[in-house]
Amino acid sequence: MNTVLCAVIVLTSTAGGLSAYADNPYIGQWALTIPGGGPGWLGVEEADGQLQASILWGGGSVKPVTSAKVEGDRLVITRVQVERRGTAKGKRITETIMATLSGDNMKLVTVKARPDGSEFGRAEFTGRRTPPLPPRPDLSKVRFGEPITLFNGKDLSGWQPLKDRSRN
């Protein structure tokens, strides 16, 4: 799971994303421990004077949120999704995520609302600012060694299983 999270952070990193810390402490990238213990990721940036955010919730793809704004000392994120299962299948569910900061730690609360406004699915979780990424390596300086033949083109002789499955 951490590998997926790291890959998402690397793939979605933006140059200079940390430069606006002084103006808005929420700007940056956040590793989330979402309800149920799964991995998540939140990226917040400012573009044309507006906050924009993207989120990864437990897996799949990073998706933009419907809105992101700072109200007082908290970040308020809204995402609207169409329910895909159960009795609410096909109905629009609005999720509001509210976050507060203590240094590089984030406390978050999520609440979902049905189309009639009734709330459900309230949960608390945490986040932590991810450190800035190092500069990109200069791949023009990479020198490869001699290739290693892994497959003889005929059979798996020379290969060994990681686990002997005959003992299950």
- pLDDT tens digit sequence for 14-43: 333 344 445 899 999 999 998 887 889 999
- In Å, what is the CA distance from 78 to each residue of 64, 67, 110? 10, 5, 10
Q: Do residues 30 and 132 lie in contact, with contact meaning Cβ atoms separated by under 8 Å?
A: no
The arrangement of secondary structure in 2-129, i.e. its CATH architecture, is: Beta Barrel (2.40)
Instruction: Give yes or no for a contact between 14 and 134, defined as CB atoms under 8 angstroms apart.
Output: no
Pick the closest to residue 136 from 25, 11, 47, 28 (CA basis).
Answer: 11
Query: Rounded to an integer, what distance in angstroms lies between the CA atom of residue 130 and that of residue 43?
Result: 10
Full-model pTM: 0.66
When pLDDT is cut at 50, 70 and 90, the band that residue 4 belongs to is very low
In the chain the first and final C-alpha atoms are separated, in Å, by 26
Cβ-contact 59, 40 below 8 angstroms: no
Rounded Cα distance between 159 and 90, Å, is 50
